[in-house]
Amino acid sequence: MNMRKILLSTQKFVENALSGEGSGHDWWHIYRVWNTAKHLAKKEGGDLLVIELSSLLHDIADRKFNAGSVKRGTEKVHAFLHSIKVEEKIIEQVCEIVQFSSFASSFLPDGTRRKMSTLEGKIVQDADRLDAIGAIGIARAFAYGGHKGTEIYNPTIKPTLPTSKKQYTQGETHTINHFYEKLLLLKDLMNTKTAQKIAINRHKYMEQFLKEFINEWDGIL
């Protein structure tokens, strides 16, 4: 199969698997990450097939869809790419990227975060993280909170900086805390120069939003 056909089959596979998903991992999230990754690749380089396949497939391996197992998700990605006869060398690279692209699975046992080792991985991770900040990031955070049934804000529950995967995935929180626990940290975690630049505006936009939110909450009219 040529590159165009491989990407088309992959797009169909992912659309089918994720359409209508309500926790912020719907097809349109994938679509935006895919576009952003292509934009980053234009500026930063990297193997385009690996970058496009990994951005399309990055959430298929997410633990949320695989009974808590990233490994099982990665096997699913492997089996799919094998079925459309993608070269084994490319499959290995894609699987490595999708396995570690999520924020939650990037924690090492000592609480520090794993760095993506390849340029392709760095680009896909940046594209995914860019979609978690800015106006879209705000919308996704509240959509996720609604999906989970958490409060939009509760001033009695203060944010805690996550230091482990367990703490990040199990902590009781509300959506405003999520900004302090994750979203406002992403700007400084971008791997590439191009993503760092894009992140600056999106970050400012979230800060403005939080300021306005707290003002309204506090009855500053």
Q: How far is the CB of 85 from ligand ADP (least distance, A)?
A: 29
DSSP type of residue 60: T
Q: How far is the CB of 139 from ligand ADP (least distance, A)?
A: 9
Residues that bind ligand ADP (CB under 6 A): 24, 62, 102-104, 132, 137, 140-141, 144-145, 173, 175, 178, 182-183
Q: Which of 97, 117, 130, 121 is nearest to 46 (CA)?
A: 121
User: In this structure, what token pair is assigned to residue 155?
Assistant: 């001033």
**DSSP H helices in 109-192:** 119-130, 134-148, 165-170, 175-181
Interacting positions 128-147 with Ni ion (CB under 5 A) = 128
Q: Which of 195, 184, 190 is nearest to 36 (CA)?
A: 195
| Residue 54 interface partner, choices Ni ion, ligand ADP, none, CB cut-off 5-8 Å depending on type | none
Q: Which stretch binds Ni ion (CB under 5 A): 34-42, 63-71, 123-131, 204-212?
A: 123-131
Torsion on CA atoms 208, 182, 70, 40, rounded to nearest 10: 50
Interacting positions 36-95 with Ni ion (CB under 5 A) = 59
DSSP type of residue 107: B
Q: Which stretch binds Ni ion (CB under 5 A): 45-53, 83-91, 125-133, 161-169?
A: 125-133
Residue numbers at the binding site for Ni ion (CB under 5 A)? 59, 128
